[in-house]
Amino acid sequence: MELPNILIVDDSREMLTYMEIVLKSARANIISANSGAKALTLIKNKELALAIVDVQMPEMNGYTLALKINENRIGAIVPIIFLTAVYQDQVEILKGYESGAVDYIFKPVNRGILLSKINVFLELYNQRINLPEDLSLLKKFEDNLSKSNAELADSQVKFKSFIEHAPDGVFIMNKAGQYLEMNEAVCSITGYRREELVKMTLHELITETSKEKWNSFLMKFFNTGTANAELTFRHKNGKVRWCTVDGVRLSEEQYLCFSKDITQNKMAADALMKSEEKYRTLLNASPEGIIIVDLKGIITDVSEIGIELYGSDSQNELVGKHILRFLPAGLKSKFREIYNKTLEEGLVQSVELKLLNKNKVPFISEISTTLIQGKNSESIAFMIVIHDITHRKKLERQMIHNDRMTTLGEMATGIAHEINQPLNTLSILFDNMLFAASKEDSLPKSYLEKKTQKIYDNIFRIKTIIDHVRVFSRSQEDAIFSSFELNESIKNAVSMISEQFRHKLIELEMSVKESLPLSYGNTYQFEQVILNLLINSKDAIEELETKLGRTIEKKIEISAYQDCKQIIVEVKDNGIGIKPEELEKIMLPFYTTKEAGKGTGLGLSITFGIIKEMKGEISFQSEPNKGTKVTIKLPVAKRPKEG
């Protein structure tokens, strides 16, 4: 007896192999094909008991193949079971029933269910072929058929229930765009009831701005059988909303469509875009260079000024790369210190560093870092603000040099006294030697050695004063910071002014500890600080004497000592003092309490800048007509790493 034929069509070789293995136990001849075209060739002029067809196949899908299997077939129609994915393809099952499906098997295939269904259809086929005369067999046939039909009806009910409760809209329309059927989600999306929608066309819902898109969608839909579009429509409440529409042709008169309301997504995307535009505008509007770095040190964003500072052509050279790649080798450890401090304290401000741009050209920068936190206060990134202060530093150095020249001008008389004293001594020595030589034919060796040594000592003193004034007056544009003896710096400053003070009958009392630890900075700049303060004290004393109209005791005290990890330097005078309302202004550039034409108003401002650069502090205590005390606090030298 010839075995009945069962056709299996699936574009997956693995699925065909699996089906063949499962159906070995079935009493049937298995015909396998991996495409619709091949299947039609293999079954030509053959009778089939059953066809098991995959829905999703390239070139020819399962629905089209099903129609072609039964097209012009003589005799009974071949029952077809469709293979389909559980979720993705269920929305297309309605189309399957139109194509001749009698049942569905959902992937992954259950072996027991598959064999059970196949055996039912094989038995129906055998009964139809053998034309059983036994009424009991006929009854059994009818029962099985009834059972199969009941199962099919149950499957259809379940499928329709699934479609009805699907979260997205599912509807069928005709070529005129009229609603024929729809699930509850369509009503929810549009705001209309079913009885209202069946009296409407989709054209009525689409807004004017989306009419062109809708017409393009329909044209493609009707020509190719599939299409998709993103459209705006008007809800029953009058508000405009966004939706996506995907469609597949069921027949020439019916088109299955799926819609999804994406209004919230569009609003969120628009808000995000506006936020991004605002963020980008603010980022690029900043006059400083801004770099955003994630917690791993990877650059995620750079402002236009930041790109310009580095000398890049675009963000692409910086974004996605580690920040340390763009820092000088000697600066990397310093940057890690800033990173850790920012992570602990949330903010680091105004750290002066020498950076290099893309072309290795150095520029002086002042950077500040801020820790960026999320909604739950978790750390998510760093913002680095870079301010190019190269020009400002150049101006500051010029101001310091100008102030130094002004100070030298004011010290000119004192320096002349300092040099005249050893010159007078030299003159007296030479006179003594000439006088002694006129009386003696030969002078004792010991006498000559003693006088000569004094001559050398005084010449060396003059040379030292001149050399020191020359170095002090030189521009410190490339001033090098290093550890230095603070007490030596104070003594050098005093040596250039002590004779002038002595001439003006000002008592200058020094109390400087010899065992002071080293300070870190530039010794000549610190000398300028001391000179500025001493000259200010001198002027304050003379101003008080002029105001009182009588001679007063004139005294200036300068002291230096260590207090824990700080070095304290104090300059105290008994001059005219500073008014309380002027104390907060005295360190501002060009502000002066002196009479017109006396002083530049830059001395204390420059002094403040030098002390700040040395990581120190300066403060003032003053009482009008009684005097002023200036206190400088400097850290003990700890040479910072280069950068």
Token code pair at residue 446: 């010991």
Structural contact between residues 484 and 567, judged by C-beta atoms closer than 8 angstroms: no
Enter the pTM of the model: 0.36
Instruction: Tell me which architecture the domain covering 169-266 has in CATH.
Output: 2-Layer Sandwich (3.30)
Q: Which of 241-255, 371-385, 585-599 has the lowest mean pLDDT?
A: 585-599
What distance in Å separates the CA atoms of residue 506 and residue 499, rounded to the nearest whole number? 10
Q: For 276-304, what is each residue's pLDDT tens digit? A: 777 667 767 677 778 888 888 888 888 87
Amino acid at the residue 393 = K
What stretches of 26-79 adopt beta strand conformation (E)?
Answer: 29-33, 50-54
b/e 500-515 (16+ beta carbons within 10 angstroms → b): bbeeeebebeeebeee
pLDDT at 394 over 90: no
CB atoms within 10 A of CB 547: 11
What distance in Å separates the CA atoms of residue 605 and residue 116, rounded to the nearest whole number? 98
Sign of the C-alpha dihedral computed for residues 397, 398, 402 and 408 taken in this order: positive
pLDDT at 535 over 80: yes
Q: For 32-85, what is each residue's pLDDT tens digit? A: 999 989 989 998 888 888 899 888 888 888 888 888 888 877 767 888 888 876
Q: For 301-326, what is each residue's pLDDT tens digit? A: 888 777 777 777 777 778 888 877 77
**Percent of the chain whose pLDDT exceeds 90:** 14
Q: For residue 65, which of 38, 46, 84, 91 has the smallest C-alpha distance?
A: 38
Q: For 75-107, what is each residue's pLDDT tens digit? A: 678 888 888 765 555 556 667 776 677 788 877
Q: Which CATH superfamily is domain 286-388 in?
A: PAS domain (3.30.450.20)
pLDDT of the residue at 590: 45
pLDDT at 461 over 50: yes
Structural contact between residues 634 and 567, judged by C-beta atoms closer than 8 angstroms: yes
What distance in Å separates the CA atoms of residue 105 and residue 124, rounded to the nearest whole number? 19
What distance in Å separates the CA atoms of residue 251 and residue 620, rounded to the nearest whole number? 95
pLDDT of the residue at 8: 92
Q: Token pair 């765009």 is at which residue?
A: 177
CB atoms within 10 A of CB 419: 16
Q: For 556-569, what is each residue's pLDDT tens digit? A: 999 999 888 899 99
Q: Cis (ω within 30 of 0) for the bond into 108?
A: yes
- Which neighbouring-strand residues pair with 169? 259
The domain segmentation of the chain, as residue ranges, is: 5-162, 169-266, 286-388, 393-635
Q: Which CATH class is domain 5-162?
A: alpha beta
Q: For residue 462, which of 403, 420, 408 has the smallest C-alpha distance?
A: 420
Amino acid at the residue 279 = Y
Q: Token pair 């500073």 is at which residue?
A: 578
Amino acid at the residue 515 = S
* CATH code for the part of the protein at 393-635: 3.30.565.10
Structural contact between residues 232 and 213, judged by C-beta atoms closer than 8 angstroms: no
pLDDT of the residue at 601: 46
b/e 580-608 (16+ beta carbons within 10 angstroms → b): eeebeebbeeeebbeeeeebbebbbbbbb
**286-388 shares the fold of 169-266:** yes
pLDDT at 342 over 60: yes
pLDDT at 465 over 70: no
